[in-house]
Structure formats: structure tokens, C-alpha cells
């Protein structure tokens, strides 16, 4: 073997070592004379490793890591799943319900220590005050709306404007009192000009709502309108598809229905009957006496 051949072979072995380091067992090359050849880890003359015959082997493409489950925001837009979002919606809430005094204590701490001074999203810049929510800490029924409007922003109480007055009538028609249920919203600060909360605002605020539900542990949740229904159900379906049938949220029965503000905007017998039908299903689930004629 000439000196040149020995140098060439040494180069081929070096090249092979480098390739093997990246997971390629054998390589082809073009030598300085333009001829194609192959190299193995051993000296060509004594090689016991298989020599490649075909084209250069490709490293196996690495399997893509599983993509996070798409999560939709209030408006059906996909947002990246967070750890909290990853909890399956029908996984029952952990732990036992707390004694009522403990719930009051923890709800108060949540409001005063976390929600009242919250600056987690831009809504704090334009709010007058936060609207935590209110009602019985051991309510069997919880209503969840979208977010405070002007009246709520001014008073610090949920559903006290025109939509709130209609909600009061709905609660009354069910044979319940406002004090016996719990009323909360997806976001605790009024979005400027009553626009819908953004995905970021919702993501920042909803841990408070989830904590409220966890503490109150209602038997039934009624979501009022599309944003609240979509958020709770992690769904992008329309209100027409979601409302009027039972869903489960972490072991709690959930009934979506139209938002009272929508009922006011579309104040006709059909809409009113539809909502009343949804509420009657809720009454039945709670074992409340249904009126003889609706
Ligand atoms: N609309 C809502 O969704 N929530 C309120 O508190 C008031 C109006």
C-alpha cells in the first residue's frame, strides 16, 4: 500500500468515527480521485464490520414529542395548555368538602388577599374595583357569568344591573333566593366597554373561579352564556349545541343556558321558554318542586 493510500484510509477511518458518533454505522465518501467508496471502523484490509453497499444510511428521525392537548379559550381559539388546564374536566374535585365556617374563611382570604388587589392582567388598570362574587358558601347551585359590567364595577357585586335583575327573577321562579345560591364570574374585573375578556385575561383570572367552585362545591353549576360555558367545558361548540343538556365538570353537573343579557336582547317567548326549560332541568336535578304549569 502506498503512502498516499495509507493517508487516505486513515482519513476515511476518522470520518467514519465522526459519523458513528452521530449514530451512523457506515458511510460512503468521495475520495480525492473522485471515486466513490466506503469506510468502516477497521483497516480496509482487515475489516470485519459490514461495508455499506447502498447509499448512505440516514439517521432515524427522532419521534416528535407528543403535542400538548389543544385547549380553547373563551372564544374557541386554541391556547397552549398549562398544567392546570391539563386536568381532565371530569376528574372529580379532590378532597372532602370543608365545614361551612372554613369555606367562609377561605373565601374571604381568597377575596381579600388575592382578588381585591390583583394585578395579574391589564383589566386591573381600568377597573373601579374587583367583583369577587357572592352567595351562600354551601350553595347547592352556582351561577357563573362572563364578567362584571358597569354596575358591577361600581358596586363590587355580581349581576346587579339589568341582566342581574333578570337573573334574580329566574332564581325566584326556581323557588330559590339569591342568598341561597352562589354567583360568580369568569373574570373578576370589568373589561373596558364590556368587551369580552381575552384569553390572557381569562387564563390569569380563572384560578380564582376554580378555587371558588372547589370551596363552595355546588351540586349543580349553571353557566350563563357562551364564554362561561365554553371556558368551563373547554369547548368551542355553539350555545345552541351546548345548552339544554347535562355536562359534567369535575364531578359536578353543569347546565349551560343563555346569558340573561342575551335574553333581554332577544326578549321573546321562544328564548324565555328555552331558558326556563333549562332551569327546570336544574330544578329537577336539585329535587326542587316543579311548578304544575310552566
Ligand atoms: N354579566 C355578567 O356576566 N356578569 C355580571 O356580573 C354582570 C353582567
Residue 11 is predicted with a pLDDT of 53
Please tell me the distance from the alpha carbon of residue 164 to that of residue 185, in angstroms, as a whole number. Answer: 12
- How many A from CA of 135 to the centre of ligand 1? 15
Distance 14 CA to ligand 1 centre (A): 72
Looking at residue 13, what is its pLDDT? 52
Residue 139 has pLDDT above 70, yes or no: yes
pLDDT reported for residue 87 = 53
| pLDDT given for residue 171 in this prediction | 98
State if residue 152 touches ligand 1 by the CB under 6 angstroms criterion.
yes
Pocket-testing residue among 158, 167, 186, 196, ligand 1, by greatest number of atoms within 8 A of Cβ: 158
Q: Is 163 in the pocket of ligand 1 (CB under 6 A)?
A: yes
Residue 52 pLDDT class (50, 70, 90 cuts)? very low
> What is residue 73's predicted lDDT score, i.e. its pLDDT?
37
The whole-number pLDDT of residue 291 equals 78
What pLDDT, on a 0 to 100 scale, did the predictor assign at position 3?
A: 64
More confident residue, 289 or 56: 289
Q: For 165-191, how does the pLDDT look when each residue is reduced to its tens digit (9 = 90+)? A: 999 999 999 999 999 999 999 999 999
For residue 111, report the distance from its CA to the centre of ligand 1, in Å.
18
Rounded to an integer, the average pLDDT of 260-280 is: 97
Where does the pLDDT of residue 60 fall: very low under 50, low under 70, confident under 90, or very high at 90 and above? low
Please state, for a pLDDT cut of 70, what percent of the chain lies above it: 69
pTM over 0.75: no
Average pLDDT (44-72) is: 45
- Range with the largest mean pLDDT of 15-19, 76-80, 83-87, 248-252: 248-252
Is residue 149 in contact with ligand 1, taking CB distance under 6 Å? yes
Res 61: pLDDT: 53
Mean pLDDT of 14-24: 39
What pLDDT does residue 292 have?
76
Mutate which of 159, 184, 196 for ligand 1? The one with the most ligand atoms within 8 Å of its CB, which is 159
* Residue in 148, 153, 160, 167 to alter for ligand 1 test, most ligand atoms within 8 A of Cβ: 148
C-alpha of residue 222 to centroid of ligand 1, in Å? 13
Judge if the beta carbon of residue 135 lies within 6 A of ligand 1: no
pLDDT band at 53 (very low <50, low <70, confident <90, very high): very low
pLDDT class of 194 with cuts at 50, 70, 90: very high
| pLDDT tens for each residue of 215-243 | 999 999 999 999 999 999 999 999 999 99
The CA–CA distances, whole Å, from 227 to 90, 93, 143, 230, 270 equal 19, 22, 13, 5, 22
Amino acid at each position: 500500500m502506498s503512502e498516499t493510500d495509507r493517508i487516505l484510509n486513515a482519513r476515511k477511518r476518522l470520518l467514519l468515527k465522526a459519523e458513528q458518533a452521530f449514530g451512523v454505522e457506515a458511510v460512503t465518501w468521495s475520495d480525492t480521485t473522485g471515486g466513490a467508496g466506503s469506510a468502516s471502523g477497521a483497516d480496509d484490509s482487515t475489516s470485519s464490520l459490514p461495508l455499506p453497499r447502498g447509499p448512505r444510511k440516514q439517521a432515524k428521525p427522532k419521534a416528535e414529542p407528543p403535542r400538548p392537548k389543544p385547549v380553547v379559550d373563551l372564544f374557541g381559539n386554541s391556547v397552549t395548555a398549562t398544567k392546570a388546564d391539563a386536568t381532565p374536566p371530569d376528574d372529580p374535585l379532590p378532597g372532602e368538602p370543608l365545614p361551612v365556617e372554613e369555606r367562609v374563611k377561605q373565601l374571604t382570604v381568597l377575596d381579600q388577599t388575592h382578588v381585591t388587589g390583583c394585578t395579574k392582567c391589564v383589566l386591573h388598570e381600568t377597573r373601579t374595583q374587583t367583583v369577587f362574587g357572592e352567595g351562600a358558601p354551601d350553595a347547592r347551585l352556582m351561577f357563573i357569568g362572563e364578567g362584571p359590567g358597569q354596575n358591577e364595577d361600581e358596586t363590587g357585586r355580581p349581576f346587579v344591573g339589568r341582566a342581574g335583575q333578570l337573573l334574580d327573577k329566574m332564581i325566584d321562579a326556581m323557588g330559590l333566593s339569591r342568598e341561597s345560591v352562589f354567583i360568580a364570574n369568569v373574570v373578576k374585573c370589568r373589561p373596558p366597554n364590556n368587551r369580552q375578556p381575552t384569553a390572557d385575561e381569562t387564563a390569569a383570572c380563572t384560578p380564582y373561579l376554580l378555587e371558588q367552585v372547589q370551596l363552595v362545591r355546588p351540586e349543580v353549576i349553571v353557566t350563563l352564556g357562551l364564554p362561561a360555558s365554553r371556558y368551563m367545558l373547554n369547548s368551542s361548540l355553539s350555545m345552541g349545541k351546548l345548552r339544554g343538556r347535562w355536562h359534567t365538570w369535575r364531578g359536578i353537573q353543569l347546565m349551560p343556558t343563555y346569558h340573561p343579557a342575551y335574553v333581554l336582547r332577544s326578549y321573546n317567548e321562544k328564548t324565555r321558554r328555552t331558558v326556563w326549560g333549562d332551569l327546570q332541568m336544574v330544578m329537577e336535578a336539585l329535587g326542587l318542586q316543579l311548578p304544575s304549569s310552566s
